[in-house]
Amino acid sequence: MAPDPGLDYVVPWSPKKDDRMPPSAPPLRLASLVTALLLAAAPAWAQDGPPPLTPEETAAAEGRYQQYCALCHGPDRAGYANDHAPSLKSPQLFAAGFTYIIGEAIAYGRPGTPMGGYHQEVGGPLSRQDIMQLTMWLGEQAATAPIELPDGAVTGDVALGAKVYADSCASCHGAQGEGGTGTALGNATMLALTPDAFIRHTIENGRDGTPMLAFRSKLSPAQIDGVTAYIRSRSAGWTAPDPIRHAPPALDAYIINPDADAPRFALKDDLYVSAAELDRELKAKKRMVLLDTRVTSMWERAHIEGAVPGPYYASREEVMANLPKDGTWIVAYCECPRAAAESVVRKLREGGLKNTAVLWEGIQGWVSLGYPVVPGNAAPKVAGQP
Ligand code: HEC
Ligand code: HEC
């Protein structure tokens, strides 16, 4: 697993309000899919986003679509050719999901459903660049301007939402969110990589040309909030006890298994630990700290159990303040899939913490490979939070 070579061009613009990437990385090389996707998700991409695909890139992307996707999503992207695969042309999907959510769905799939992960890091045939081009191509075909949706949690009455779900959704999405005519709303990977606002937007607005109707005029805003919160509350498993949102560990409880031995990591390139290795050492209950280096709203959506928020935008002093300095292993991860975690580990190593590592596959690879995540508590106040 060599580090991703990245794309061979430099993005000519920088993210606008999006603060998910380290602000100090000028100009950002498209070294990761999500860097690309987040940047492309800048609202006015049609005016000043990434350059349109060249004719060669368009032909390559369309070829890959027909080769890998048309079987289920249909040669014309209308969906429903096989396995109830959703439409890849509805304006609502492209307004709310372009590019980030659509790109993540292609890269990491919805394990347990017919939608596999196509990224090489989870065993698929496509590189980051292939996936980015395919996502861009789908966006160009759909020609719908993306809208900006808030990142944070939708709060609502989960009990009310459970009733709405049973009455109005289960017939298509399955009593346990397992899917049917509709997609699998209980899918752990979908929930980990999909913000609440996207789910709410879909319920409110439906998807043109598909069986998913707009519930705007059928349900009250409180019912829509409730069913969104209910779906989120199922993200550690449909039968998980409720409520299941976790508060971040107290500052003096950052260490997982404080009385145990150190884990044994065979780091690649002196930096990366694989998901399989991290899972093995967590299951063996080894002593370590897990640092979730993403913006804290993403920690809320889903994180590896025991991980503490240590966002990349916190200063070295802020991140270091609560970390053990006694050689305890610290594993950082993000969803970029590595850039934010690498920037934090760089700070920690400069600060003298040598037993530090970055999760190679990022949390998307982690959840897509079937390792567990838990949702976090709303709005924890942590070091470095603006
Ligand atoms: C074997 C059938 C199959 C193939 C092949 C397939 N998909 Fe899918 N895809 C599905 C199904 C089924 C779902 C919905 C899964 C769920 O959540 O229940 C899905 C979901 C998606 C979604 C999420 C859409 C949404 O509404 O959130 C995207 C994007 C997507 N597929 C893109 C692709 C692309 C691009 C390819 C080719 C690289 C591809 N799929 C190949 C079956 C397939
Ligand atoms: C008549 C069947 C049907 C009913 C009833 C229904 N849905 Fe759907 N839903 C679908 C289908 C089909 C899709 C995929 C549409 C597409 O092709 O994009 C979908 C998509 C969605 C998505 C997007 C998921 C994703 O993977 O992107 C959400 C969220 C959703 N539905 C929530 C709900 C909720 C909540 C309810 C009840 C209030 C509901 N749906 C009722 C059929 C249904």
Residues with CB under 6 A from ligand 2: 79, 86-87, 90, 93, 164, 168-169, 171-173, 181-183, 185, 190, 199, 202-203, 207, 210-212, 215, 227
In percent, the amount of the chain with pLDDT more than 70 equals 82
Q: CB-based contacts of 373: which residues, under 8 Å, 6+ apart?
A: 188, 192, 235, 236, 302, 303, 304, 305, 363, 366, 367
Cβ–ligand 1 contact at 183 (below 6 Å): yes
Mean pLDDT for the stretch of residues 88-101: 96
Q: What is the pLDDT of residue 319?
A: 85
Answer whether residue 378 shows pLDDT above 70.
Answer: no
| Protein residue with least CA distance to atom 2, ligand 1 | 72
71: CB partners within 8 A, 6+ apart: 81, 82
Q: What is the CA radius of gyration of the chain?
A: 20
> What contacts 265, CB < 8 A, 6 or more positions away?
273, 277, 281, 329, 357
- Ligand 2 atom at minimal distance to the Cα of residue 199: 29
Task: Give 6's pLDDT tier (boundaries 50, 70, 90).
Answer: very low
Report residue 35's pLDDT band, with 50, 70 and 90 as the boundaries: very low
Check residue 236 and give its pLDDT: 75
Position of tokens 């530090």? Answer: 356
Is the C-beta atom of 179 inside 6 A of ligand 1? yes
Q: For residue 18, what pLDDT is reported?
A: 35
Ligand showing the shortest atom-to-Cα distance for residue 210? 2
Residue 73 identity (one-letter amino acid)? H
Pocket test for ligand 2, best of 154, 164, 173, 191 (most atoms within 8 A of CB): 173
Share of the chain above pLDDT 90, in %: 65
Work out the mean pLDDT of the chain and round it to a whole number.
84
Q: pLDDT by residue (tens digit) across 99-141? A: 999 999 999 999 889 999 999 988 899 999 999 999 999 999 9
Cα of 349 to ligand 1 centre, how many Å? Answer: 40
Predicted confidence (pLDDT) at residue 322 exceeds the cutoff of 70: yes
Task: Dump pLDDT digits (tens) for 262-280.
Answer: 999 999 999 999 999 999 9
Please give the pLDDT value at position 301.
Answer: 82
Instruction: Please indicate whether residue 185, judged by its CB atom, sits closer than 6 Å to ligand 1.
Output: no
Q: What is the pLDDT of residues 220-246, one digit of tens each?
A: 999 999 999 999 988 877 877 654 566
Q: Which of 212, 217, 225, 234 to mutate to test the pocket of ligand 2 (most atoms within 8 A of CB)?
A: 212
Q: Please check the confidence at residue 31 and state whether its pLDDT lies above 80.
A: no
The pLDDT score that the predictor gives to residue 90 is: 97
Q: Give yes or no for residue 115 CB within 6 A of ligand 1.
A: yes
Domains of the chain and any CATH numbers: 50-142 (1.10.760.10), 158-233 (1.10.760.10), 251-368 (3.40.250.10)
- pLDDT confidence bin for 15, thresholds 50/70/90: very low
Between CA 61 and CA 67, with CA 66 as vertex, the angle to 5 degrees is 95
Q: Whose CA is nearest to atom 23 of ligand 2?
A: 202
